[in-house]
Structure formats: C-alpha cells, structure tokens
Amino acid sequence: MKLLNVLLFLGLPALLLAGVAGCGQSDGGSPKVMPEKSMKAGTALLVQHQLKVTIHPESNELEVSDELQLPKGNGEPVSVYLNSVFQLSVDGQVIEPQSTVSGVSRYQLAVDDKHSLVLNYKGRLASTPDCSWLVQACLRLDEGGVFLDGNSHWYPHIEGAQHSFSMEVVLPDDWVSLSQGAQTNSGWEEKQPQRTIYLLAGKFKVYQSEEKADQPRAMVYLQGDDPELAARYLKATEQYISEYSRLFGDYPYAKFATVESFWETGWGMPSFTLLGSRVMRFPFILHSSFPHEILHNWWGNGVYVDSREGNWSEGLTAYLADHRNKQVKGEGMNYRRDTLQKYAAFATGGDDFPLNQFRSRHDRATQAVGYGKSLMLFHMLRKKLGDELFFKSLRDFYQTYQFKRAGFDELKTVFERSSGEDLAVFFDQWLNRSGAPVLSLQDATLKPLDDGQQQLNLALHQGQANAAGKPFILDVPVVIQFEDGNTQRETLMLTQQQQSYEWLFSKPVKPVIRVSIDPAFDVFRVPDVREVPPALNVLFSREPKTFVLSRQVPAGMELVWDDFAETFSYGQKNMKVQYDDEALPDDGIVVLLGGDNAMLSGLLDRAKQPFKLTETAYSLNSMNYTCGLHSLALTLQAG
C-alpha cells in the first residue's frame, strides 16, 4: 500500500471544527468596493459631497440629501449610480432611472453652471444578517445598528470618481455614528480623496484618547462597557501609529477607531477597523492582526491599489506588520517557513496563479499567493537592496502616491529610482509567472589540490513547481558548516537549472559536515518536506482523500464524525467516506477517525515519535493525555 499521508483524529477536534466553520479572524481583509473606471495610475475624478443623512432604524429607512460638487466638465449630463431601492428627486421632481442592473440604477442628470447637483432620496435597505464577509457584500440598517459602504450604493456614485465629503448624521437617541476622517459637531468630514464612503451607527460605548495637537486620536467603539479592553486598544493604537509614522511617514487620517463589529470580521477601512466580538478579545490579536489593520492606512487606504496590475497592499502590509512583529521576537524565519509551507499546500496544484492576477482573498489558494508570495517578494527585495534603500523607497512611494492609485509598476519605478538598479527581471518573474522554484543540493565535495590548497565544489539544482519556461533568477543564501564548528555564508546567484560553484582555501580546513540551502527561508520556493514541521494543511490541500469511519464507534459519535467528514468535503473534487473493514486505496490521503478504528492496528508502531494508545489515555513523548479531556490529531507520512 502506497500512502502519501495518514492522518488520525482521536476525540473531537473542536478547535479545528470551529476554524473550518468560518469563524472570523482579522487578517487585513476589507469588504469589496465598487471598481473604479480604468485610468492612468494616480489620477481620478474628485467629487465633493455635502451629505445630510437621517437614519430610521425602526423602518430600515435611509433619508439623504447630497449636494455634489463636480469637476469642471463640458456641460454634458453625467451618469449617476444609486441603489435601486431609493426614490430620487431633484428640485422636487421625481427622477426615473435610465436603467437598473443588479439592484443599481443609473440616472442621467444635467449639471448647472456651478457644476453642482442637489439630490434627495430615501428608501428601505435590506440587511444581510449573517455576513459571509469573504465572498459577499455586507449591509446593515436596522434597530441593531448600521453598516453601509460602497457596495450598498447608498450615496451617489459617478464612474471613475473618488470622493471627499462632509456628512451630517441625524440619529436616534443614544446612538453614535462613525465614518472615515475627522469628527465634527454633527458628523464626519474627510477632505482627502476616498475610494468609497462608509457610514456606521449604533448604540456603541465610545472611548478615546486625550486630544493632542497634530496627533491622530485613538478611539474604541464597543457594544458594551469594557474600559479595560478599550484601554488596551487605545494604548496599542497610539504605539503602532507612532511606530509606523517613523518608518513610513505621517499617519494620513485624523483618527483611528477600533470598532466591535456586528459580525465576526476582520476588516481594515480608512481610519478604522471592524473586529468581531470574539476576535478582538483574543489576547494575541493586539500584536498580530491588529497592527496589520492599522498599517493598511498607509498601504491600501493611504496609497490606493491600482488593481489592474494586481493587489500589492496585502502582501506589503503582511510583511511590514505580521512578519515584522514576528521578526522582532526572533521568529521571522519560522513565519517565512510557514508561509512557504502554506503555499506548497494550497497553491501548488491547479489553484496557483500569477501574483498580478490577485485582487482579494476568498480562499486558501488566493491567500497563499496574494499574501504569502507577495510578502516573500518584498522580503527578497529587501534582502537584495538592504534595509536603508528598502525603507527609503517605501517612504518615497508613500509620499508620491498618498491618496492616489498606484500599482506594482509604480512600486518598481520608485525602487529603481532609489537604488539605481534595473529591477525589471525581478518583478517580471515574481509577478507574471505562476509557480515557484524547488531547490536541491546535487554535490558538495572538499578535495585537496596539488599546490596545497583545498577546493570546495557545490552544485545546486533548480526544479519548478507549477511553473514552465526558463529557470528563475535567484539569490540563494548558502551556509557551509565545517567539522570544527566554523561556518561560511555565501549568497549564490542561480540562473540555470543546474549550476556549479567552487571555493579555494589556501589554508587547510576541516571536512564539510553540512551545507544548508536557504536555511532561513529567504527565497520564495517550495520547501522540502524535511524542512517543515508536520501540519494539517495536507488535509485541506491534497487529493484524493479517503475518510475511514469505525464500525465500532458509538452511534452518537458516528454522527459527529460524519459531520466532520462532511465539513471537509466542501469544495473537494475527489473524496470518499468508507468504513474500517473495507480495503484502503493505494494512494492519496487516508484520514482515520476515532481511536477505535481497526486500521490503527500496527500503524502507530511505525511512528518515529514514541506513541502509545489505550482505552483511557494516550501518551506522546512521555506525556500522558486523558481521552475525553484532550483531542489529538496525528499525521504519519510514508517514507
């Protein structure tokens, strides 16, 4: 029997089930917004809005007056888009739409000599009570609160436009509102161009830091009274804004607010973030996902993404927030290793795609490429240029394109200008090609020469996973370790499928006992299976899969395991469920469910780690665990 992997679950893996059920986790995601008309990077029409918004939560109704100031045009009518639930009137006259598609109406409106329009409209908006925030637009307008963004089409939108606004918000008693920008006596104001306009409202308890001259204000909106939680977020907000401002330039907004969301989300918007009630109370969030959301105000909500060339902001933000926090703790290598492991698990099959096609995350493959491959691109660029040039280039990029759209091409241009290097090949191979290199050592020999010197020969081989065409051009770190404990570090340029290198030593050296290729995981590549720890990623990523149930399992537990297998069947093309008295397949992933599974006989004896299983407990590495109090997921790999 040739098994790629065997996975064993003893007891119910409750934490894993919670994870697959889709509980929200802050990851720097943000709700999708209306696409802007394709135009040159850095340019966009600017429409100024003077909004008065009245919220009627008891009837799910929104009433809006909006005076739009438009750029000077040629006097022709303009097309304005608005949610079709609204009845629009201009100067007291009801206006009928020219067309309505997918719930969005298009109006053709004349503009006066002052290039302005005054629109009045009202209507009822239907909420999305359970928001699958990775794949759908979310909306709320009811007695529980309000969340409106560009996908709601709640304000007049002109194709290709960005927006500045002042907003007066009329609320029920005991309600507060939130939007991007600065708070005013009656609402909110943002003078810088925005891609979309947000409006939140509800019965929040608001905490805020002391007002300081020329400093953004930290704010926390909670659904209940929790001063200790608020204090932690206020302190962390001030800490990270100060830190990132020193690195990249001044924070671009008047405040940053942390909002306890209506859903279990992790969204980063301009000048605020929405975190689910459970998510924001996890102790690790403050120094993992939370700084990611703050940093998006520089990358994504400070410099906007020109998505025609792919979305660079998620990878850059993950690198400079998530990865950087791990690196400060001495865990950067492990973070990069895990990033490469996830890419190998989720994107090296038919789900891989070039980075320039990434727009937003909606599954594990898009996350592995759009976040993982992208952050490794920036890590390799930093290693190539050095810290000083890398961070100088980012500051220049931020200063040049603040509140403008920019793509990978603009990033490349700024880095080339700062460094004086031609980076065309570097960006081309990591943006426009799918796949990744697979590195291996073909030869490592140390031999004496006739003149008394010693020569060390190395040969590196570059395979390719999910990639076609010429080899990648790589700067590969190599560490050579000698018998006496001395080491030699080299960076080798690998441009061919196989390449040889040699070094001469004038003095005798001890034998080479180890050669490590990219030991710190500084190169984007598919890691060798021996480089990475066992992980359950294989359960999600590889096919075919066979789930094996026990005939002896109690009826209640059988239903649990059935549900468990069904959970993992979502999106799987080649999966089956069978019992432990049936013959196993010859290949693929085999998942054994339950400690009473007959297929366990003799299997655990093959495990390299000491493992014993009885009716009441199991032991691993001399540690005992009581069945029923602990759950275990064990992976065994053939070979």
Mean pLDDT for the stretch of residues 505-531:
91
pLDDT recorded at residue 1: 38
Contact between residue 294 and residue 273 where contact means Cβ atoms under 8 Å apart: yes
- Is 579 an annotated catalytic residue? no
- Size of the chain, expressed as the number of residues it contains: 639
Residue 340 pLDDT class (50, 70, 90 cuts): very high
Contact between residue 11 and residue 595 where contact means Cβ atoms under 8 Å apart: yes
Give the residues across from 424 on adjacent strands.
Answer: none
Q: What distance separates the 2 farthest-apart alpha carbons in the chain?
A: 100
Give the residues across from 62 on adjacent strands.
Answer: 55, 123
In terms of Cβ atoms closer than 10 Å to its own Cβ (0-12, 13-18, 19+), residue 474 is: buried
Does 296 carry a binding-site annotation? yes
Indicate the average pLDDT of the chain. 88
| Rounded Cα–Cα distance for residues 312 and 321 (Å) | 14
Using DSSP's 3-state secondary structure scheme, residue 384 falls into helix
In terms of Cβ atoms closer than 10 Å to its own Cβ (0-12, 13-18, 19+), residue 257 is: buried
Within the chain, all domains assigned CATH 2.60.40.3650 are found at 44-203
Q: Catalytic: which of 107, 240, 244, 371?
A: 371
Mean pLDDT for the stretch of residues 83-90:
98
Label the pairing between strands 304-305 and 405-406: parallel
pLDDT digits (tens, 9 = 90+) for 189-229: 999 999 999 999 999 999 999 988 889 999 999 999 999 99
Q: Catalytic: which of 36, 189, 190, 293?
A: 293
pLDDT recorded at residue 527: 95
Does 61 carry a binding-site annotation? no
pLDDT recorded at residue 362: 85
Mean pLDDT for the stretch of residues 39-61:
88
pLDDT > 60? residue 37? no
Alpha carbon 213 to chain centroid distance?
34
> What share of residues in the chain are helix, strand, coil (percent, to 5)?
25, 35, 40
- Domain spanning 44-203, CATH class: mainly beta
Measured CA distances, 185 to 65, 167, 170, 516, 626 (Å): 18, 10, 12, 62, 60
Specify the pTM: 0.86
pLDDT recorded at residue 29: 47
Residue 538 pLDDT class (50, 70, 90 cuts): low
Within the chain, all domains assigned CATH 2.60.40.1840 are found at 437-521
Q: List strand residue ranges (DSSP E) for 433-567, in order.
A: 436-448, 454-465, 474-482, 487-494, 498-505, 512-517, 545-549
Return the percentage of the chain with pLDDT > 70, whole number. Answer: 87
Print burial letters for 174-203: b (CB count within 10 Å at least 16), e (below 16): ebebbbbbbbeeebbbbebbbbbbbbbbbe
Does 314 carry a binding-site annotation? yes
Is 2.60.40.1840 the CATH number for 437-521? yes
Return the percentage of the chain with pLDDT > 90, whole number. Answer: 64
Mean pLDDT for the stretch of residues 497-505:
94
pLDDT > 50? residue 528? yes
- Is 107 an annotated catalytic residue? no
pLDDT > 60? residue 4? no
> 286: which 2 tokens?
């403050």
| Rounded Cα–Cα distance for residues 524 and 507 (Å) | 36
